[in-house]
């Protein structure tokens, strides 16, 4: 057993180091590790034993605890429509269509069809939000839309877990199960609420006074596992108790300390779960059904894209809808957890479970590639939004010696605020409809349109401007706009904000000298504060 643990750690490290070079998530590395260990040590034959089921369940417990710990009520208040309307519609429509197709057309058994439909309806919160946080996309409109839908999917995990409990119950009387479940749920919530409201803060205060890090970490693990055990004793899954424990801790002032201390444990325990998933992969089934796997992968990606695009398009432009849909077309990590729970409860078996696991993993492998090329892919397919123009009634006619600000993002808004305080004249151009309406609500002189269009630039009285500030995050569009502006006015009047030296070199080719590199300016400001 010790040798297996050592080899597992070694293989997981090697796999993830290699995969990181290609920008692939560690989840894929853990699944690959599980597959290698299973076949290398012959453990694939023991994949259905009781101990392995317990290990997998333990991984799911900490997955749910993580979701609960990061769950924030404030997110719901800020994004009511994105979460409750768009998110709910996406889940319900996807699950219903998949269920109807699976049960009525392919004749898959009903309970199995329900499990498959629910698994496909979910996307990868871990991969999408990690990449969006790294590249800043999370603060953009499509990032917020994707975030709202992902939050609803995380919330939906709770009723999905309850439904899996119903489906696996031997008691045929649904009304009795429902009544007993409601009673147990009330008891569970009352107990955990009382503990969280009156004892949790005092408990943590006692722990922190000891100034012993391992006691704090141990207390967090105790609360997670203890809540899981309590939920299990009341007839719920371990995962539900862990989720509630995470939520209780998230409402305390110790949330951030708990998160910081548990990050290594959390990732390793999640890795343990995905290793057990990898141990279940059967290559003979994959080879036999590879054509079905590829067709299923394509069908899922297309179906989810169409549904998400249609849902988001109800209130958004084509470009935002396209980016949002493309961001979350994959099937997520918790879908693997659902399939594992379904397998342990005999709700899904081979070859269906194997086919689904491989399809999900393949969709997750594609996700980082799609997200890193999101803008380029979208620009290739969506061009219609750029032709529109709308002018705020607060734009002054025929002004001189003003500043033209191209881009009303966070950087553009901070510039506008500074100019307003100093009484400077300015005109803003913004191509995002929501940012435009934000400026309109503040009575800003703002024009909605594409800065590449001469008609839009004409309405800014560009040639009368003393300066033009270009604050656009899209590197490709930034270069194109700089080329367009360079033809209209002297380069000395142009000020460009870029993120990196690589973007700076690209702009310098146009003989534009007033270039501010955001990363360099920020680092210099930090150094000056320290000296």
Cis peptide before 205 (omega within 30 of 0): no
Buried b (16+ CB within 10 A) or exposed e, 376-414: ebbeeebeebbeeeeebeebeeeeeebbbbbbbbebbbe
pLDDT per residue as tens, the chain (531 positions): 677 778 888 888 998 898 888 767 777 888 888 888 888 776 655 555 455 556 556 666 776 777 777 665 655 667 788 888 999 999 999 999 999 999 999 999 998 999 999 999 999 887 787 788 767 687 778 888 998 898 888 778 878 877 887 787 765 555 666 676 677 778 777 887 787 778 888 888 888 888 888 888 888 888 888 888 888 787 676 777 887 788 788 777 787 777 777 767 667 776 777 787 777 677 888 889 999 999 999 999 999 999 999 999 998 888 889 999 999 999 987 898 888 788 878 888 878 988 998 899 889 888 888 988 888 898 888 875 545 677 888 888 778 899 999 999 888 999 999 999 898 999 999 988 778 888 988 889 999 888 888 888 888 999 899 999 998 887 778 888 888 898 888 888 999 988 888 888 888 888 888 998 887 777 777 777 777
Tokens of 383: 């061009």
Which single residue is written with the structure tokens 């709770």? Answer: 158
What CA–CA distance (Å, rounded) separates 497 from 503?
Answer: 9
Burial status of residue 456 (CB atoms within 10 A of its CB: 0-12, 13-18, 19 or more)? buried
> What pLDDT score does 386 carry?
47
2-381 CATH: 1.20.1530.20
Contact 69, 259 (CB under 8 A): yes
386-530 CATH: 3.40.50.720
Contact 279, 38 (CB under 8 A): yes
Tokens of 347: 């709700």
Contact 117, 304 (CB under 8 A): no
> What pLDDT score does 58 carry?
67
Burial status of residue 175 (CB atoms within 10 A of its CB: 0-12, 13-18, 19 or more)? exposed
Domain ranges of the chain: 2-381, 386-530
User: The whole model's pTM is what?
Assistant: 0.67
HEC sequence for 45-107: HHCCCHHHHHHHHHHHHHHHHHHHHHCCHHHHHHCHHHHHHHHHHHHHHHHHHHHHHHHHHCC
**For residue 205, how many other CB atoms are within 10 A of its CB?**
11
Paired residues of 496 in beta bridges: 470, 515
The three-class DSSP label of residue 498 is: strand
> What pLDDT score does 340 carry?
79
Dihedral sign (CA 15, 20, 24, 27): positive
Backbone dihedral region of 42: left (phi > 0), alpha (psi from -120 to 50 degrees) or beta?
Answer: left
């Amino acid at each position: 057993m010790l040798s297996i643990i050592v080899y597992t750690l070694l293989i997981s490290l090697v796999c993830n180091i290699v995969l990181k070079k290609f920008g692939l998530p560690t989840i894929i590395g853990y699944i690959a590790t599980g597959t290698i260990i299973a076949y290398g040590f012959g453990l694939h034959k023991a994949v259905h034993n009781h101990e392995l089921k317990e290990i997998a369940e333990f991984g799911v417990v900490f997955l749910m605890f993580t979701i609960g710990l990061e769950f924030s009520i404030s997110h719901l208040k800020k994004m009511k429509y994105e979460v409750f309307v768009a998110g709910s519609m996406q889940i319900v429509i996807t699950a219903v269509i998949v269920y109807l197709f699976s049960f009525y057309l392919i004749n898959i058994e009903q309970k199995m069809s329900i499990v498959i439909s629910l698994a496909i309806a979910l996307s990868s919160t871990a991969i999408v939000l990690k990449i969006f946080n790294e590249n800043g996309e999370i603060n953009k409109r499509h990032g917020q839309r994707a975030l709202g839908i992902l939050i609803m999917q995380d919330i939906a995990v709770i009723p999905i877990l309850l439904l899996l409990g119903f489906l696996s119950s031997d008691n045929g009387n649904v009304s009795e199960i429902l009544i007993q479940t409601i009673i147990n749920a009330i008891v569970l919530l009352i107990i955990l609420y009382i503990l969280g409201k009156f004892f949790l803060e005092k408990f943590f205060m006692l722990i922190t006074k000891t100034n012993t890090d391992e006691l704090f970490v141990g207390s967090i693990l105790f609360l997670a596992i203890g809540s899981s055990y309590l939920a299990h004793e009341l007839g719920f899954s371990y995962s539900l108790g862990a989720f509630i424990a995470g939520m209780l801790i998230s409402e305390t002032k110790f949330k951030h300390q708990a998160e910081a201390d548990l990050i290594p444990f959390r990732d390793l325990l999640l890795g343990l779960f995905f290793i057990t998933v990898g141990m279940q992969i059967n290559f003979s089934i994959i080879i036999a059904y590879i054509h079905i796997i590829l067709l299923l992968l394509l069908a899922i990606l297309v179906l989810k894209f169409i549904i998400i695009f249609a849902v988001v398009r109800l209130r958004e432009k084509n470009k935002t809808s396209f980016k949002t849909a493309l961001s979350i077309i994959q099937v997520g990590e918790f879908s693997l957890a659902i399939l594992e729970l379904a397998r342990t409860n005999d709700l899904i078996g081979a070859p269906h479970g194997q086919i689904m696991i491989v399809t999900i993993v393949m969709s997750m492998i594609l996700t980082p590639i799609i997200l890193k090329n999101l803008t380029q892919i979208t620009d290739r397919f969506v061009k219609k939004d750029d032709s529109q123009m709308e002018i705020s009634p607060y734009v002054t006619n025929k002004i001189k010696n003003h500043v033209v600000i191209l881009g009303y993002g966070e950087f553009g808004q901070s510039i506008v605020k500074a100019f307003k305080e100093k009484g400077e004249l300015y005109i803003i151009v913004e191509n995002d409809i929501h940012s435009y309406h934000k400026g309109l609500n503040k009575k800003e002189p703002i024009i909605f349109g594409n800065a590449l269009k001469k008609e839009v630039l004409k309405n800014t009285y560009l040639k009368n401007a003393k300066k033009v500030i270009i604050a656009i995050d899209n590197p490709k569009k930034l270069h194109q706009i700089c080329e367009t502006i360079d033809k209209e006015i002297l380069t000395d009047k142009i000020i460009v904000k870029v993120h990196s030296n690589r973007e700076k070199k690209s702009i310098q080719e146009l003989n534009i000298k007033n270039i501010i590199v955001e990363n360099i300016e920020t680092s210099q400001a930090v150094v000056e504060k320290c000296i």
